[in-house]
C-alpha cells in the first residue's frame, strides 16, 4: 500500500482534482460529439461526486457547491430529464475549469480567493441549476464568408495542466492561482510523479539487490575458508615431500583435491552471484530510466478541449485526433512540447483550416481534420501535426520575402520549397493577411523552432496548396542507456549508436573503387563514398588496405561509409556527457565505460554525417585535423569561412567573396564551422544565425571563448532583422551584424573588406 502520510490533505486534494478534472474534460468532449450516447455520464457523475467529497473534507465550500450542481446536471441528463445541448456542455466545462483553478490556490489563500470569486460561483451554480438552454438552430447564425473571426478574448481558452496518473504521488509545490494569495516563498525542490506499478517494481528490485548484497559476506567467508584449506594442504604436502613420507604425501594430495573441489563449488556460486547481481542491477537501472517516461497522451490531454473551444470561436467544424498516445516520452521533452504544439495547432485552426463554405466549394468534407501523431523511429521521437486545410503557397512566401526586402527577386526566385518554408520560423515572419487574437502575430513558429533546436532536434514543414500542411518534429529520446556497435579505430575503441547505423559490412578489396581520388563501394546498387575512420577522428591516416570493415551511416539525404580497423561487437552503454571544459570535441557526442572498465567515446553521428558528405563532395579532409598543405602564395591570400545551412545563400556568399579575390571555405552549420576553425587557418568568419546542431550565436560565443580566436573578425548575416536579434549577435562577440538583404547593395562587401582588409 502506498504511504501518503508525508503529504497534507490540501496537497492530496490538488492531485485528486487534477485527475478528475482531466476525466471531466475528456468525457464532456465525448458527450458533445455524440449527445445520444449517455454511456460517459456515469464516469462524469463519479468524477464530480469525488471532487465534491474531497472539497468537503478540506473545507472548500465553493468547490463543493460547483461540483454538486455539476453532479445534479449529469443526473438530469442520465435520466432523460434534459437534452445534452452545447450550451450545457459549455457550462459544465466552465465548472470544470473553475474546479481546476481553485485547486491551484495555495491553502493559506483559499478563503480570500473564494470570497473574491463568490459572484462567479453564484452565477455558475445558478446557470447549472436552471433548465438547459434551448439548442441553437444552426441556420440562425451561419458564419459569413467575409466575417472576421471572433476574438478569443471574449471567451478565454485555457490548456489545462496535463493529467497524470496519481498512483504514487511525489507532490511538487503548486503555484498559487492569484499572486495576492501566495504564501511565503518555499525553497524549490525538483519532484516528479511515478506510476505505482513502476515504483513497486523498483522497490522489489531494490529488495532483491539488498538480498543479493547480503550473500557477499558468506561468499567471502567460504572463499577464505577454501584459501586457508589450500594453504594447510600445501604446507602439509611440502613437509611430506621433504621427509619422503609417502603416506602423508597421499593424505596431502587428497586434501588438495578436496580444496580444489570446494574452490570449484565456490566459483560456481560466485559466478551465479555475479550473474544475478548484474541482472538485478540492470533491471533496476532500466526501471529507474523508465520512471522518467510518460505516455504522450499525458502531455497533450488539454489539446482536445483547446481545439474545440478555438474552432467554435472561429465558426469552424474540426475533428481532432491523437495517434500514438501510448508512446513513451521523456517527461522533460513532454513538458517542452506543450508550447510548440499549442502554436502549431492554433495556426492550423486559424489560417490553415478553411471556412465550411469554402471546403464545400472545393469538394472537401465540411468537418476539417487535425491529427497529432507521435511515434518512435530510428532512435528518435517523431511528432507530426497534420491538417487537411488550404495548405501553404510557396509563392506567397516568396513574395513576402521580396516585399520585406529580405532578399532580391533574383535570389528569391532560386530558393527551393524547403528553404522557403524555413522562413516561416523566423521571428516576426507571417503570411497571415489578418492579425487575430489566435495567430498572425508572427511569434508562434519562432517558439517552435527555438524549442526544437534547443533539444538538438529538427522541424520541417510539408505542404501542398489545397491539400493541407504537416509540421514534422524530430526530437531525441533522452534515455541515458544506448545500444551501440563497438569498433576499433587506430587501436582505440569507439561506439556508434545502433539506432543511427544503416549497417556494418566487410568489403573485399576488389569491391572498392576510386572515382576522382575518392574511394567508394556498392551498397544496394548505389555508389557509397568511403572515408578512413582514423583520418576522420584525427588519429592519423592508415589508409584502406585489404578487406575493409565499414560502418554505413545514412538518412534521407544519402549514405556514407566509415572504414574502421575491426568490429568489436555490441554493448549497452551508460552514456556520460563530456566535461564542459573540453568544449565540443569534433565527431564525438559523449563517453561511456565498457564492461571491462575501459573508457569509450561515442561518435556524434550527425556531426560525422555532415562532415563526411562535405568531405566527399570536395574530395578533401578539410576540418579533420590534418595539417594544411598550403603554399606560401596561398597563405598570402586571405581565407574566409562561411557558415550557412542554406545551399543557395551559401553559394551566393561564396561567389561574392571569390569574385573579390578571397579564398573561401564553407561550412554547412555551426558545428562544422567550429571543427574547421580549430583545424585550419582563417582570417574571418561569416555566419548565419539559424542553423542545425549549433546556431550562429552559440558558434560566436564558442569562438570568442577560445583565446586563439580572440581577434578573429566575425560578421553575422541573418534574415532576422529585429533590434533584439542584432543586439544578441553583437553581445555574443560579432563585429558586425547584417541582414541577407545586404547582398543587394554594397554593405556586405564593404563590411568584409572593412573587417579583414583587401584580399
Between 670-679 and 605-618, two packed helices, what is the crossing angle to 10 degrees? 70
- pLDDT over 90 percentage in the chain: 13
Residue among 350, 301, 217, 219 nearest 19 (CA): 301
Note the pLDDT of residue 734: 92
- Residue 182 domain-assigned (yes or no): no
Report the range of poorest mean pLDDT among 170-184, 317-331, 602-616, 723-737.
Answer: 170-184
552 in Cβ contact with 559 (< 8 Å): yes
CATH number at residue 22: 1.20.120.160
Average pLDDT over residues 57-74: 89
Give pLDDT, residue 687: 93
What SS3 class is residue 679?
Answer: helix
Q: Positive or negative, the Cα torsion across 747, 658, 586, 629?
A: negative
Rounded to whole angstroms, how far apart are CA atoms 297 and 300?
5
What CATH number has the domain bearing residue 721?
3.40.50.2300
How far apart (Å, rounded) are the C-alpha atoms in residues 51 and 92?
14
Pairing of strands 684-687, 714-718: parallel
445 and 329 share one domain: yes
Instruction: Tell me what the mean pLDDT of segment 634-641 comes to.
Output: 74
463 within some domain: yes
Instruction: Write the CB contacts of 511 (distance below 8 Å, at least 6 apart in sequence).
Output: 521, 522
Reported pTM = 0.55
Q: For residue 609, what is the domain's CATH number?
A: 2.40.50.180
Instruction: Calculate mean pLDDT across residues 271-286.
Output: 78
Instruction: Please say whether the dihedral angle defined by the alpha carbons of residues 108, 111, 116 and 122, taken in this order, is positive or negative.
Output: positive
Which of these ranges, 21-35, 220-234, 569-583, 628-642, has the smallest mean pLDDT?
Answer: 628-642
pLDDT score of 185 more than 70: no
Question: Where is pLDDT greater, at 221 or 715?
Answer: 715
For 47, 345, 382, 391, the CA distances from 386, given in Å and listed in that order, are 33, 9, 13, 10
pLDDT value for 701? 92
CA 4 to chain centre: 33
**pLDDT at residue 386 in the model:** 95
Is the confidence at residue 92, as pLDDT, over 70? yes
Q: In Å, how far are 75, 123, 279, 472, 511 from 95, measured between CA atoms?
A: 16, 11, 51, 35, 72
Q: What is the mean pLDDT of residues 653-662?
A: 87
Taking 50 as the threshold, does the pLDDT of residue 468 lie above it? yes
Question: Cα 362 to chain center, whole Å?
Answer: 37
CA 23, CA 17: separation in Å to the nearest integer? 10
Contacts 24+ apart (CB under 8 A), 505-509: 505/550, 505/552, 506/547, 506/548, 506/549, 506/550, 507/547, 507/548, 507/550, 507/561, 508/547, 509/545, 509/546, 509/547, 509/548
350 and 390 in contact (C-beta within 8 Å)?
no
Q: How confident is residue 627, by pLDDT bands cut at 50, 70 and 90?
A: very low
Inform me whether the pLDDT recorded for 556 exceeds 60: no
Give yes or no: residues 668 and 585 share one domain. no
pLDDT of amino acid 175: 35
Q: How far apart are the first and last CA of the chain?
A: 77
The CA-atom distances, in angstroms, between 290 and each of 160, 207, 482 are 25, 18, 14
Q: Which of 25-34, 256-265, 474-483, 709-718 has the lowest mean pLDDT?
A: 474-483
Phi and psi at residue 476, in whole multiples of 5°?
A: -75, 145
Residue 706 shares a structural domain with residue 647: yes
pLDDT of 253: 81
Q: For residue 256, what pLDDT is reported?
A: 80
Query: Is a pLDDT exceeding 70 seen at residue 650?
Result: yes
- Picking from 269, 290, 311, the residue at the C-terminal end of a domain is 290
Q: Is the pLDDT of residue 746 over 80?
A: no
Torsion of Cα atoms, 734 then 736 then 739 then 742, to 10°:
-150
| SS3 state at 378 | coil
> What's the mean pLDDT in 257-282?
81
Query: Which residues make Cβ contacts (< 8 Å) with residue 290, sequence separation at least 6?
Result: 198, 328
- Cell, residue 660: 573579390
Determine the Cα–Cα distance for residues 4 and 616; give it in Å rounded to an integer: 61
Report the distance separating Cα 126 and Cα 60, nearest Å.
18
Among 152-166, 260-274, 549-563, which is the least confidently predicted range?
A: 152-166
Query: Does residue 708 belong to any structural domain of this protein?
Result: yes
Give the domain range for residue 605.
481-618
Cβ atoms within 10 A of the Cβ of 516, count? 5
Supply the mean pLDDT for the chain: 78
The answer to whether residues 450 and 509 belong to one domain is no
**Which of these, 311, 475, 453, lies nearest to 387 by C-alpha position?**
311
For 26-62, write each residue's pLDDT tens digit. Answer: 888 888 888 888 788 888 888 888 888 888 888 898 9
pLDDT at residue 682 in the model = 92
Q: Where are the alpha helices (DSSP H) in 300-407?
A: 303-314, 331-347, 356-361, 394-403
Residue at 393 is within a domain? yes
Identify whether residues 614 and 660 lie together within a single domain: no
Asked if residue 340 has pLDDT above 60, the reply is yes
pLDDT band of residue 592 (cuts 50, 70, 90) is: confident
Distances (CA, A) of 586 to 604, 639, 688: 8, 21, 20
Grid cell listed for 525: 546498387
Question: Which of 679, 710, 674 has the alpha carbon at shortest distance from 583?
Answer: 674
Are residues 447 and 543 located together in one domain of the fold?
A: no
Q: How far is CA 589 from the centre of its chain?
A: 16
| Residue after which a domain boundary falls, among 232, 266, 290 | 290
The SS3 call for residue 433 is coil
The DSSP call for residue 742 is G
pLDDT tens for each residue of 694-726: 889 999 999 998 888 988 999 998 877 778 888
- pLDDT of 384 reads 94
pLDDT value at residue 2? 40
| Listed ranges 231-245, 301-315, 536-550, 639-653; the one with the highest mean pLDDT | 301-315
Residues 331 and 434 in one domain: yes
- The residues with which 468 forms a beta bridge, in sequence order, are 464
% of the chain surpassing 70 pLDDT? 78
Q: State the average pLDDT over residues 156-177.
A: 37
- Distance between CA atoms of 166 and 151, rounded to whole angstroms? 36
Is residue 90 left, alpha or beta, with left meaning phi > 0 and alpha meaning psi from -120 to 50?
Answer: alpha
Q: Which of 92-96, 285-289, 653-657 has the lowest mean pLDDT?
A: 285-289
Q: How sure is the predictor about 575, in pLDDT bands with cuts at 50, 70 and 90?
A: confident
Residue 626, domain member (yes or no)? no
Answer whether residue 284 is part of any domain: yes
Question: Does residue 156 carry a pLDDT above 50?
Answer: no
Judgement on whether residues 316 and 461 belong to the same structural domain of the protein: yes
Average of pLDDT values for 221-244?
A: 79
**What is the per-residue pLDDT for 135?**
59
Q: What is the DSSP string of 116-162?
A: HTHHHHHHHHHHHHSPPPPPPPGGGSPPPTTPPPPPGGGS----PPP
pLDDT, greater one: 237 or 661: 661
* pLDDT tens track for 93-138: 999 999 989 988 888 888 889 899 899 999 999 988 888 776 554 4
Range picked from 348-362, 427-441, 566-580, 646-660 for highest mean pLDDT: 348-362
- CA dist 683 and 679 (Å) reads 13
Closest CA to 393 of 443, 432, 438: 432
- What's the chain's Rg over C-alpha atoms? 34
Q: Is residue 394 part of a domain?
A: yes
Q: CB count, 10 Å around CB of 481?
A: 14
Same domain, 499 and 462: no
What does the alpha-carbon distance between residue 518 and residue 595 come to, in Å, rounded to a whole number?
37
174 pLDDT exceeds 50?
A: no
| Residue 149 pLDDT level (bands cut at 50, 70, 90) | very low
Q: What does the DSSP assignment read for 461-518?
A: EEEETTTEEEEEEEEE---SEEEEEEEEETTEEEEEEGGGEEEEEEE-GGG-EEETTE
Helix (H) or strand (E) holding 371: strand 368-377
Whether 694 is in a domain gets the answer yes
- Decide: residue 537, CB within 10 A, 0-12 exposed, 13-18 middle, 19+ buried: buried
Per-residue b or e along 559-585, where b marks 16 or more CB atoms closer than 10 Å to that residue's CB: bbbbbbbebbeebebebeeeeeeeebb
CATH number of the domain that 470 lies in? Answer: 3.30.565.10
Domain shared by 231 and 107, yes or no:
no
Do 433 and 492 fall within a single domain? no
438 confidence band (pLDDT: 50, 70, 90) = low
Secondary structure (DSSP) of 56-112? HHHT-HHHHHHHHHHHHHHHHHHTTSS---HHHHHHHHHHHHHHHHHHTS-GGGHHH
Same domain flag for 246 and 321: no
Give residue 373's pLDDT. 95
* Beta strands 663-667; 639-643: pairing state: parallel
Number of domains the chain is built from: 5
Q: Does residue 349 or residue 544 have the better pLDDT?
A: 349
In three-state form (DSSP H/G/I as H, E/B as E, the rest C), the secondary structure along 514-577 is EECCEEEEEECCEEEEEEEHHHHCCCCCCCCCCCEEEEEEEECCEEEEEEECEEEEEEEEECEC
Dihedral of the CA atoms 300, 304, 309, 311 (nearest 10)?
Answer: 110
- Taking the CB of residue 464, how many other CB atoms lie within 10 A of it? 12
pLDDT at 681 over 60: yes
Spatial CA neighbour of 368 closest among 218, 468, 254, 509: 468
End-of-domain residue from the set 569, 594, 618 = 618
Amino acid at each position: 500500500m502506498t504511504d501518503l502520510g508525508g503529504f497534507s490533505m490540501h496537497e492530496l486534494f490538488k492531485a485528486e482534482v487534477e485527475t478528475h478534472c482531466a476525466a471531466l474534460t475528456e468525457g464532456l468532449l465525448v458527450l458533445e460529439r455524440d449527445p445520444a450516447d449517455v454511456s460517459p455520464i456515469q464516469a462524469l457523475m463519479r468524477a464530480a461526486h469525488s471532487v465534491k467529497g474531497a472539497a468537503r473534507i478540506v473545507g472548500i465550500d465553493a468547490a463543493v457547491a460547483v461540483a454538486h450542481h455539476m453532479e445534479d446536471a449529469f443526473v438530469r441528463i442520465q435520466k432523460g430529464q434534459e437534452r445534452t445541448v452545447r450550451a450545457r456542455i459549455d457550462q459544465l466545462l466552465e465548472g470544470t475549469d473553475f474546479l481546476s483553478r481553485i485547486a491551484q490556490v495555495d491553502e493559506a489563500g483559499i478563503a480570500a480567493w473564494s470570497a473574491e470569486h463568490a459572484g462567479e460561483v453564484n452565477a455558475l451554480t445558478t446557470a447549472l441549476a436552471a433548465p438547459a438552454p434551448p439548442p441553437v438552430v444552426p441556420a440562425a447564425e451561419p458564419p459569413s464568408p467575409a466575417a472576421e473571426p471572433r476574438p478569443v478574448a471574449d471567451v478565454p481558452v485555457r490548456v489545462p495542466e496535463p493529467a497524470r496518473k496519481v498512483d504514487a504521488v511525489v507532490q511538487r509545490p503548486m503555484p498559487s492561482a492569484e499572486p495576492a494569495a501566495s504564501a511565503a516563498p518555499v525553497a524549490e525542490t525538483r519532484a516528479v510523479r511515478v506510476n505505482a506499478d513502476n515504483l513497486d517494481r523498483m522497490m522489489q528490485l531494490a529488495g532483491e539487490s539488498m538480498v543479493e548484497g547480503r550473500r557477499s559476506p558468506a561468499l567471502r567467508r567460504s572463499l577464505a575458508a577454501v584459501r586457508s584449506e589450500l594453504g594447510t594442504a600445501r604446507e602439509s604436502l611440502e613437509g611430506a615431500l621433504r621427509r619422503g613420507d609417502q603416506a602423508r604425501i597421499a593424505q596431502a594430495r587428497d586434501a588438495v583435491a578436496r580444496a580444489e573441489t570446494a574452490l570449484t563449488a565456490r566459483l560456481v556460486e560466485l559466478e551465479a552471484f555475479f550473474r544475478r547481481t548484474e541482472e538485478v542491477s540492470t533491471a533496476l537501472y532500466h526501471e529507474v530510466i523508465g520512471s522518467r517516461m510518460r505516455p504522450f497522451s499525458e502531455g497533450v490531454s488539454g489539446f482536445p478541449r483547446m481545439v474545440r473551444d478555438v474552432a467554435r470561436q472561429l465558426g469552424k467544424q474540426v475533428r481532432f485526433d491523437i495517434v500514438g498516445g501510448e508512446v513513451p516520452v521523456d517527461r522533460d521533452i513532454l513538458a517542452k512540447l506543450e508550447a510548440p504544439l499549442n502554436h502549431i495547432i492554433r495556426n492550423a485552426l486559424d489560417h490553415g483550416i478553411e471556412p465550411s463554405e469554402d471546403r464545400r466549394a472545393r469538394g472537401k468534407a465540411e468537418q476539417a481534420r487535425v491529427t497529432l501523431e507521435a511515434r518512435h523511429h530510428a532512435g528518435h521521437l517523431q511528432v507530426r501535426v497534420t491538417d487537411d486545410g488550404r495548405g501553404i503557397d510557396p509563392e506567397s512566401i516568396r513574395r513576402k520575402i521580396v516585399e520585406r526586402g529580405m532578399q532580391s527577386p533574383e535570389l528569391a526566385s532560386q530558393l527551393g520549397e524547403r528553404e522557403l518554408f524555413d522562413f516561416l520560423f523566423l521571428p516576426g515572419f507571417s503570411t497571415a493577411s489578418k492579425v487575430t487574437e489566435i495567430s498572425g502575430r508572427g511569434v508562434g513558429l519562432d517558439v517552435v523552432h527555438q524549442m526544437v533546436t534547443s533539444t538538438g532536434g529538427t522541424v520541417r514543414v510539408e505542404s501542398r496548396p489545397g491539400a493541407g500542411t504537416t509540421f514534422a518534429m524530430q526530437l531525441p529520446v533522452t534515455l541515458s542507456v544506448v545500444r551501440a556497435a563497438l569498433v576499433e579505430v587506430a587501436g582505440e575503441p569507439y561506439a556508434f549508436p545502433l539506432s543511427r547505423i544503416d549497417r556494418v559490412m566487410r568489403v573485399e578489396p576488389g569491391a572498392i573503387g576510386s572515382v576522382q581520388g575518392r574511394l567508394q563501394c556498392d551498397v544496394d546498387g548505389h555508389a557509397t563514398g568511403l572515408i578512413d575512420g582514423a583520418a576522420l577522428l584525427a588519429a592519423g591516416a592508415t589508409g584502406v588496405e585489404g578487406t575493409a570493415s565499414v560502418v554505413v551511416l545514412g538518412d534521407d539525404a544519402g549514405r556514407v561509409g566509415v572504414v574502421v580497423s575491426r568490429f568489436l561487437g555490441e554493448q549497452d552503454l551508460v552514456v556520460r556527457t563530456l566535461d564542459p571544459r573540453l568544449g565540443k570535441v569534433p565527431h564525438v557526442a559523449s563517453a561511456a565505460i565498457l564492461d571491462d572498465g575501459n573508457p569509450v567515446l561515442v561518435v556524434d553521428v550527425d556531426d560525422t554525417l555532415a562532415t563526411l558528405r562535405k568531405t566527399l563532395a570536395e574530395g578533401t579532409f578539410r576540418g579533420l585535423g590534418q595539417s594544411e598543405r598550403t603554399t606560401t602564395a596561398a597563405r598570402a591570400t586571405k581565407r574566409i569561412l562561411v557558415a550557412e545551412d542554406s545551399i543557395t545563400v551559401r553559394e551566393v556568399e561564396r561567389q561574392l567573396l571569390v569574385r573579390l579575390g578571397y579564398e573561401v571555405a564553407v561550412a554547412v552549420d555551426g558545428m562544422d564551422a567550429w571543427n574547421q576553425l580549430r583545424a585550419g587557418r582563417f582570417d574571418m568568419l561569416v555566419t548565419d544565425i539559424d542553423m542545425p546542431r549549433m546556431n550562429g550565436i552559440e558558434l560566436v560565443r564558442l569562438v570568442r571563448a577560445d583565446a586563439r580566436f580572440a581577434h578573429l573578425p566575425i560578421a553575422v548575416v541573418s534574415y532576422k532583422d529585429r533590434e533584439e536579434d542584432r543586439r544578441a549577435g553583437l553581445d555574443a562577440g560579432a563585429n558586425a551584424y547584417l541582414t541577407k538583404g545586404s547582398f543587394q547593395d554594397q554593405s556586405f562587401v564593404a563590411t568584409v573588406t572593412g573587417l579583414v582588409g583587401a584580399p
